[in-house]
Amino acid sequence: MRSHRLHSLRRQDVGKTVELNGWANKVRNLGKMVFVDLRDRWGITQVVLDPATIPIASQLRAEWVIAISGEVIARPTNMVRKDIATGEIEVSATTCQVISEAAELPFPIADGSKIEPSDTTRFTYRYLDLRRAKLKENIIARSTLTRLFRQEFENHDFLDIETPMLYKSTPEGAQEFIVPSRVQAGNFYALPQSPQVFKQLLMIAGFDRYYQIVKTFRDEDLRADRQPEFTQIDCEMSFVDQEQVLETIEAIVQKVLQQYLPDYQPTPFMRLTYDDAMQHYGSDKPDLRYDLRLHRLDAKDFVDGIPDALVAEEAGELVVIAARSCAEKYSRKRLDALQSLFMQAGGKRLAWCKVLADEWKTSIRGGISAATQAVLRTKLALQTGDMLFIGLGASPVLLTAMGTVRQHLAVELELTDPSQFKWAWITDFPLFERNDAGELASMHHPFTMPREQDLPLLGVQPLEAKAQAHDLVLNGVEVAGGSIRIHRPDVQAQVFTALGLSQQEIDSKFGFLLQALRYGTPPHGGIAFGFDRLVMLLTGNSSIREVIAFPKTYKGTCLMTSSPSPLAQELLAPYHIKSLVKPP
């Protein structure tokens, strides 16, 4: 049994007899002496063993689990180790017991190794990967953030209430995971993409404030910030308007940040409408750590008419970004790369100008006249050395394509400092958008309340209606989204109808909700955080897989446990299903 954890011994412990347990992080065998950095969750303590009295010492290898007893001795002041908190001391072992040997390691665990394992190796041996300092810190940070959020939600009178994992298939937007029912032949549960409907029912039930840190599931193509199962901090409040939801959530987040980030200076989150975000940043989740705003150019900005090269296309809108002091950084190759990025994003053509002291350099045939240069200099506050990127195309794609260029420029110009946190609320989203099939779809979800004044638009010009929806954006990533909900059954039915659901579909899929709304429903609204993304950003990581203990690969597989895996037909039969794919 250990007497101390491995981060705790200091100079004042010198002379004590201690029992320590842990993993051999590093073993340095100097022949007459063996030095072991012994590691546990909390830290590292250096142990010195003499093979003359402890013969096993010379056989110790990295990652063996050992128990030692010994005496704490001081290290000379000029030899204090700076790399560990216990660097003032070491423990001179009197006994060493090997508790468990480690097989040959697929990659080194101790810090300082130049060998970086491939993702495949990391995920196959995730339990070893998790021993590495960086990953361990991420998981501990996640636990801390979980605790802080819980505390703050509890402090604001939110009740932690669980909702079912076995739910039913509903058209909420994402592709679902389906679970066949054994008992109810031919019927299926779906795993929830969010506890949305249940949290609304909890408001109807009168709980007033609910929160839950909960796994949710979406069977979508994966990216660096997506996983098939992910964690939400989900919450809902009654008798509130949108402003009260935003204020409460902002207060909770600010409090958590103050406790989590030692130097955090709370400043109110920025507020932007969806339209402004799109116009100025070309994105509904703008990264506000840098400016690089989008500006529109029109005929009056071009004293001698818009150059032919910019009007040749049928799509005649122009949007410009002025990037500061980077003219010399942009070679032909880089400019071509930007151009193709812009075109892939749906833009028509991306022209550029280098603002030079004498003649501007530009990709626009015929150049830009001195008079127009003067207008642009004033309009965009240009300085010599700046660079203009002029995108040609048609809104709204032109805006999003320029938004992509904006983001790309920020990375190239190193404007994305990960230690800076810029938060923004985005509001006034459209209620509906057209999906890829050209059908009307909810931009947030079908339970979102339109703005009061837009209710008459539902049946006639639904695309014009704005929603009482809100997203919280951090450094260009959407970390939370929510809305005020529809609490009137007639409005809810109207929205379902606008979405093209037949009466029969409405009844079978959401009849229970419409029914519940008829029994006295308070106005209510809430939000859900993508907790994995939030932890990723707050820990300075660029993939959520770094902050999830056991994530899936981009293909949705777990390399460690080999899931998903085929099932033999006799195992499928009780569920009344037959696989179309033969097991190997």
Q: Which is nearer to ligand ASP, 399 or 528 (CB)?
A: 528
Closest CB to ligand ASP among 62 and 441? Answer: 441
b/e per residue 86-117 (b: at least 16 CB within 10 A):
bbbbbbebeebeeeeeeeeeeebbbeeeeeeb
**HSE (side-chain half, CA atoms, 13 Å) at 131:** 22
Q: Name the token pair of 145.
A: 């953030």
Instruction: Please tell me the distance from the alpha carbon of residue 218 to that of residue 195, in angstroms, as a whole number.
Output: 12
Looking at beta carbons, which residue is closest to ligand ASP?
194
Whose Cβ is closer to ligand ASP: residue 196's or residue 492's? Answer: 196
Give the shortest CB-530-to-ligand ASP separation in angstroms.
8
* Count of beta carbons in the 10 Å neighbourhood of residue 447: 23
Q: Using CB under 6 A, which of 339, 372, 373, 483 touches ligand ASP?
A: 483
What is the nearest approach in angstroms of ligand ASP to the Cβ of residue 448? 7
Binding mask 137-176 for ligand ASP (x = CB under 6 A): ----------------------------------------
Non-local (6+) Cβ contacts of 359 within 8 A are 367
Phi/psi of residue 493, nearest 5 degrees: -65, -40
Interaction residues for ligand ASP, span 181-240 (CB under 6 A): 194, 196
Q: Which of 327, 527, 538, 547 binds ligand ASP (CB under 6 A)?
A: 527
Helices 503-517, 489-498: inter-axial angle, 10-degree rounding: 160
117, 403, 446, 482: which one binds ligand ASP (CB under 6 A): 482
Stretch that binds ligand ASP, among 29-37, 365-373, 481-489, 496-504 (CB under 6 A): 481-489
Please count the CA atoms within 13 angstroms of the CA of 274 that sit on its side-chain side.
18
Q: How many residues does the chain have?
A: 584
Sole binder of ligand ASP in the list 192, 228, 446, 481 (CB under 6 A): 481
**Structure-token match 């994966």, residue found:** 222
Residue 72 or 528: the one with the smaller Cβ distance to ligand ASP is: 528
CB of 196 vs ligand ASP, minimal distance in Å: 4
Sole window of 18-26, 324-332, 336-344, 522-530 interacting with ligand ASP (rule: CB under 6 A) = 522-530
Q: Given the complex with ligand ASP, which of 124 and 194 has the nearer CB atom? A: 194
CA distances from 329 to 299, 385, 401, 427 (A): 30, 10, 22, 36
Closer residue to ligand ASP in complex, CB, 45/194: 194
Name the minimum Å distance from CB 173 to ligand ASP: 8
The CA-atom distances, in angstroms, between 315 and each of 346, 347, 388, 396 are 12, 10, 20, 11
Tell me the C-alpha distance between 344 and 338, whole Å.
10
Instruction: Find out whether 509 and 196 touch, Cβ atoms under 8 Å.
Output: no
Which helix (DSSP H) or strand (DSSP E) does residue 35 occupy? strand 34-39
Residue from 390, 528, 535, 538 in contact with ligand ASP (CB under 6 A)? 528
Residue 405 or residue 528: which is nearer to ligand ASP going by CB?
528
Which two three-digit tokens encode residue 394? 């048609």
Task: Output the smallest distance, CB 234 to ligand ASP, in A.
Answer: 6
Number of residues lying near ligand ASP (CB under 6 A):
9
24-63 residues labelled b (16+ CB within 10 A) or e (exposed): bbbbebeeeebebbbbbeebbbbbbbebeebeebeebebb
Question: Applying CB under 6 A, which part among 284-292, 305-313, 381-389, 520-528 lies near ligand ASP?
Answer: 520-528
Instruction: Kindly tell me which of 231 and 362 has the beta carbon lying closer to ligand ASP.
Output: 231
- CB of 480: closest distance to ligand ASP in angstroms? 8
Sketch the per residue contact string, 441 through 460, with ligand ASP: x for CB under 6 A, - otherwise: ----x---------------
Q: Rule CB under 6 A: which residues touch ligand ASP?
A: 194, 196, 445, 481-483, 526-528
